[in-house]
Amino acid sequence: MRRIKLPFAGGLEVEFTDRGRAIKQVEEFAERGTRYPVVVFGPEGCGKTAWLKQATELLRELGFETLYVNPLHKDIIPYTDIKEAAQRLLEAVGEAIGVAQLKLATLVTLTVRELLSKWRRGRVAVLVDDVFQAIGLEKVEMYVKELLGLIEYPPESYEKIVVIVATSEGVTRWRIGRHRWAKIMPMWNMPREGFEELYERLPGLKPPFEDVWRLTGGNPDMLARLYQANWDVDELIAQLIKMKKLRDLARKWGSYLREVVENPDNVGEEGYPEELKEELISENLIVYDMYDRDLKLWIDEPPPEMDLELGIGRDVAWQTPIHREAVRRAITQC
């Protein structure tokens, strides 16, 4: 498999790193097809997009007509011999923000139907990234049902179809989970060994790996942000406090948040406000109701059962240790 190169930070490109088990799972999807759309959720910046783009390359090599689309960022990779289908998507990319995002999301299902109709070998894969943010939460369930319709009611018979959707939206999994329209699987931040390999590829002076690991918990986007900030942790935390409006959150929930900072599982305990939990989920600060650490349930490697140093509880986890530290600092500033 050809390993793709991905933009990292400051003009630096890095080769796709690790995620060996996740790539093996794509091979398994290709071998048997996906009976339901596979919806993959996980922390922001944990590497879902990188994995999907590498999966796009792998599926192409396995003989699939393959389509990767990110409507939110107007990013497409059309590996197809049906030129008019690819051209239609490329034209939509050039349209105005907002219009293009919704149009691309709609064109995904139409394009896959066309591929199924015209591709004689009948092996089609569609990988959709950040689509729920592009279309809005109120349309999530119907969009997943449309993708399921591609599998259950195709315009022509097919040999194999693979449908994977990735999201960082914390609330979408419960909307989708109300129906039997998808297989929902979590992905966590990178395992330590693979993350260290990525860290070693970064040029220049850098803090010791152990310090970086304790700050990021294996999140490649947080590593990129630290690298871009010249390893200035205070700058990154200040950005996060501003971006997530954490001072407002701390003023509202300070006494509860102090305990959640120490152990994220506390947010699910009796007596803690439901509204606090909902705000932490909607702001992508925590992952709530973590799956059992059974390998079969996860894309790639699951997190440890509990690691409070990294902000990981049994049932709840901070998306990264830096998220937790930003909340801790916001509390002290109020």
Residues 46 and 222: their CA atoms lie apart, in Å, by 9
277 within 8 A of 268, measured Cβ to Cβ = yes
Interacting residues of 227 by C-beta distance below 8 A, sequence separation 6+: 8, 9, 10, 12, 202, 206
Instruction: Output the six-digit token pair for 59.
Output: 């599926």
Instruction: Output the six-digit token pair for 158.
Output: 């097919």
Does the structure show a pLDDT above 90 at 118?
Answer: no
- How many CA atoms lie less than 13 Å away from 144 in the CB half-sphere? 30
pTM, rounded to two decimals: 0.93
Q: What percent of the chain has pLDDT over 90?
A: 70
pLDDT of residue 120: 63
- pLDDT tens figures, 290-303: 999 999 999 999 99
Does the structure show a pLDDT above 80 at 266?
Answer: yes
Report helix, strand or coil for 171.
coil
pLDDT bracket for residue 54 (50, 70, 90): very high
Report helix, strand or coil for 74.
coil
Residues 287 and 313: their CA atoms lie apart, in Å, by 10
Do strands 160-167 and 123-129 pair parallel, antiparallel, or not at all (unpaired)?
Answer: parallel
Interacting residues of 278 by C-beta distance below 8 A, sequence separation 6+: 171
DSSP string for residues in 103-128 = HHHHHHHHHHHHHHHH-TT-EEEEEE
- Answer with the residue of higher pLDDT: 155 or 257: 257
Residue spans of beta strands (DSSP E) within 191-300: 286-288
Q: For residue 17, what is the DSSP state?
A: -
Interacting residues of 317 by C-beta distance below 8 A, sequence separation 6+: 264, 286, 287, 290, 303, 310, 311
- pLDDT tens figures, 82-96: 777 778 887 877 776
Alpha helix locations (H) across 178-219? 192-200, 209-216
Min mean pLDDT across 94-108, 201-215, 244-258 is at 94-108
Q: For residue 218, what is the DSSP state?
A: T
* Mean pLDDT confidence for 121-144: 87
pLDDT bracket for residue 116 (50, 70, 90): confident
Does the structure show a pLDDT above 70 at 159?
Answer: yes
Does the structure show a pLDDT above 90 at 203?
Answer: yes
DSSP string for residues in 11-57 = TEEEE----HHHHHHHHHHHHH--SS-EEEE-STTSSHHHHHHHHHH
Does the structure show a pLDDT above 70 at 56?
Answer: yes
Residues 302 and 292: their CA atoms lie apart, in Å, by 9
Task: Give the count of beta carbons closer than 10 Å to the beta carbon of residue 71.
Answer: 26
Do strands 65-70 and 123-129 pair parallel, antiparallel, or not at all (unpaired)?
Answer: parallel
* Mean pLDDT confidence for 149-161: 89
Domains of the chain, earliest start first: 5-186 (3.40.50.300), 192-332 (no CATH)
pLDDT of residue 171: 66
Do strands 160-167 and 12-15 pair parallel, antiparallel, or not at all (unpaired)?
Answer: unpaired
Instruction: Output the six-digit token pair for 137.
Output: 């939460």
284 within 8 A of 222, measured Cβ to Cβ = no
- pLDDT tens figures, 319-332: 999 999 999 999 99
Q: What percent of the chain has pLDDT over 70?
A: 97
The phi-psi region of residue 311 (left if phi > 0; otherwise alpha if psi is between -120 and 50; otherwise beta) is left
pLDDT bracket for residue 216 (50, 70, 90): very high
- How many CA atoms lie less than 13 Å away from 65 in the CB half-sphere? 24
Supply the mean pLDDT for the chain: 92
pLDDT bracket for residue 179 (50, 70, 90): confident
Does the structure show a pLDDT above 90 at 18?
Answer: no
- pLDDT tens figures, 42-52: 999 999 999 99
Residues 305 and 291: their CA atoms lie apart, in Å, by 10
pLDDT bracket for residue 23 (50, 70, 90): very high
